Structure 1
């Protein structure tokens, strides 16, 4: 992670933490001032400026890491590289890892699950979280499937993904969540306290519910995100 953050710093990304070295147990990074908020409870995090600035940041981040992705595949990553090696995926580009200032993205944190992979792989999880495409959302503003689809479309459009690839991104959400559940279960079976706790808290069940939700609405989602304004 330190090398990735150093690469971002060298390319002018002041919205990512700067590497601050290692100690016995932790990788240290600098602090990013601003607000971290729950998208279900915070109007600023739900806003169009937050959504648009997040999508724009992810595109710039992917473009910045594209030249190093293939060469860095043999480095040690928490998650395994996944072909095609287009970019360094953030791995968890979700509202809870965003720092807001004045209603817009001012920082991105938690690069622990970064790994080489495809743009679609990273985008799939991003739109899952930013739409958010989930049946468990209780916030009125975000709970309707039509609103979720519109937010996903806006995110993909601001990112610059052409309409022909957007169905691939939707299907990628399902594949991404299935892989996440499998990884969680494997790590829990190996004795990981973190993932054992995740399963005890029902994270795997929630992801499976969301997989079913997205599959049920797939045609509607694909049609909605593929439309051009």
Structure 2
């Protein structure tokens, strides 16, 4: 019997290549798949339910993961996804992931995209908790997906990534949803909801700015290498937005610090 494959939306690097088959997800293997599979097995072993389970490799050489029912946040963003309750639940999920991954040792594996050395501490961070990489049920974040960029990092780096995307931290004119005008309040709220340490709060603004540079460099290199979706994204506005956002971080660093520490 031919299995029905339903394409799953979202993402850039694997766009059009990720499908659902019954209660499984099939995705292309990558150079870091061994590392990611070991990470997912660790999360399963410690009882963390907020990530897919690795089930094996199918006959087409694709990894087979458990399908996690729920919704991811893709444009046009639904109203519930822009609420403080949704934001709080993302912070809680990220904290639970960090607690679950704490005992995993990454040294024997190859990872795909190293984070800046200043942000490599003692955990494997997800490194891409984007809006479409978190599964929600009833408006509450319940699972992380797409661990392609996971690797040695830190709590600080993951929190900086998450709040940069979920704040979002960018010029107000480039925010076209209900979050516009609430950037600083959401920035503070996420750090509070996560329970970020005082030491990490002092570094969070710099980390978020550095994360933006790191992420956009990844997109730029993908575009230059000829990846069609990265090329489309970079040449249809992302390059200009990157420059505007870099300037925004510089111009608003003091205001971000004040919002976080006042």
- In the alignment, structure 1 residue 165 sits paired with structure 2 residue 178: no
Superposed, 1:82-93 pairs within 5 Å as 82-83=116-117, 84-93=120-129
Partner of 2:180: 143
Partner of 2:5: none
In structure 1, what is the Cα distance between the partners aligned to 2:61 and 2:231? 21
2:218 corresponds to which of 183, 191, 204: 183
1:72 corresponds to which of 106, 118, 126: 106
CA pair 37-187 structure 1, distance change in 2 beyond 3 A: closer
In structure 2, what is the Cα distance between the partners aligned to 1:209 and 1:28? 40
2:144 corresponds to which of 98, 108, 127: 108
When Rg is computed on C-alpha atoms for both structures, the one with the higher figure is 2
What SS does the corresponding residue of 1:124 show, helix, strand or coil?
helix
Partner of 1:131: 167
Structure 1 residue 117 displacement after superposition:
0.9
In structure 2, what is the Cα distance between the partners aligned to 1:43 and 1:162? 30
TM-score w.r.t. structure 2 length? 0.77
Structure 1 residue 48 displacement after superposition:
2.1
Give me the CA root mean square deviation: 2.1
Structure 1 residue 112 displacement after superposition:
1.0
What SS does the corresponding residue of 1:116 show, helix, strand or coil?
strand
Tell me how many residue pairs correspond in the alignment. Answer: 222
CA pair 134-25 structure 1, distance change in 2 beyond 3 A: farther
Is 2:93–2:143's contact at 8 Å kept on the other side of the alignment?
no
Gaps of 5+ in 1: none
Partner of 2:232: 197
Is 1:15–1:106's contact at 8 Å kept on the other side of the alignment?
yes
Partner of 2:17: none
Gaps of 5+ in 2: 1-35
Structure 1 residue 110 displacement after superposition:
1.0
CA pair 195-138 structure 1, distance change in 2 beyond 3 A: closer
The C-alpha deviation readout for 1:177-212, integer Å capped at 9, x for no partner, is 112233333344444444333322332332332222
What SS does the corresponding residue of 1:195 show, helix, strand or coil?
helix
What SS does the corresponding residue of 2:260 show, helix, strand or coil?
helix
TM-score w.r.t. structure 1 length? 0.87
Is 2:50–2:97's contact at 8 Å kept on the other side of the alignment?
no
Q: Which moved more, 1:182-191 or 1:147-156?
A: 182-191
